[in-house]
Structure 1
């Protein structure tokens, strides 16, 4: 069995879900983009913030800068989103009525949103990301109804789903909301624990960037790929001069939680493998759990 890089990717509001399929996969990637991301992440993982007790008490926000990583996303993400918008998949025709009923839309609205065209008696071909995003919204609405959620909560979820059906909707994500705040992270440390350092997880942000190294329609490739030199995009050497720290301060560092991302590496490929990796690289991704 094989999968496409973004076959499960969905957008809720302006945030991405299921950035890569769960499990262990290797995708053909663009070497130049992967090397650029590796350099950006080296700088990203060296950023440190020493948060004082006074700052924790005052809760004055202090976001990480992440200039290199955010710059990479600004340069590379728009092209990925455009390619994602053109990605299409077979969809059961019956699902159009199911989605319409769940989200309070007409069948015509769902059909138009999917840009669906009939391919057989029971199938249509439509936008993969629209289908995933509408399906995610419908699932959440169903769960909220089962839980007898407040009308305001249900209406909010319905609104997010209906936005996807608007003719102007595009699968853009807002990565700025994923940049962590050092003071907020430090305030989660229990003073009684005696801890003086804390890691803040930026896995979602790193995976968003890693997507930009792969065409969303790219299929996973088979083989063990022995003999390649793999470079991590999740466990980079983050050694950096520690900032001056006042007594009682907490040092906050970015990291990628291994509980979610077991492997995120790339490797340049020799000429013999260019048939399966024409962009010059492979990207290995192992997600421990489905992040949707």
Structure 2
């Protein structure tokens, strides 16, 4: 290997730099975990041995997801994965781990805000259709059209007629997606009453996570039972053979992530894609090239 100006790098130095790069990548995973556990306390059954196993399995599953991504791109497969659940159930955490090493041009997240005045006058599913995948794409919906069966129903943001029409339409809408060639996977992340309260209190205490608590989240806490009734009806009335619901026990966040990722991989008949060998070309050197120094006033202060 060579540095600029043609200086040789020894094989030992090259290996050390490669090791540093890999460790830096792993540090980002650890950083996510540390951020998740701030003030929340460790899971009751978590041990050093389990944490080691968790990271090993997380990296292995992420490697499998990269193979899945390559297969999706190669075959033109289309996937929609829906993540639903109560506030603080862990949907965002698993979405981060799934997408962590994937190409955002192939695998993207759709997290739609509340509909605007124009969207409220459209066909209910219309704004979601715009985010559906083309060939060779995966779309993860962080909440989805099932907002109507959940938050809109519980908070009275839709009429009884709107709610009834949703259930008349949703199963046929999803069958249309599947008939068109889209693989539709639906996950519900399930936590207990006590676990949600603990996670909410942890967010209140953590200044880095208070932004996650909206007035709507707090109101959802008060209406726990109404959400339970709405969830039960949703799972019963929209659990179709073409796109069944899958429930992820999510009291333990780490186990929920691994279980969801492993289950998702089991649903797709992907295979390793043969790729052409990647050869790094030699850098071209010109004797008259001189790298100009960067003006001091443009350099970010080196505080660390």
TM-score w.r.t. structure 1 length?
0.23
Instruction: Name the structure where strand makes up a greater proportion of residues.
Output: 1
More contact order relative to length (CA 8 Å, sep ≥ 6): 1
Q: Which has the larger radius of gyration?
A: 2
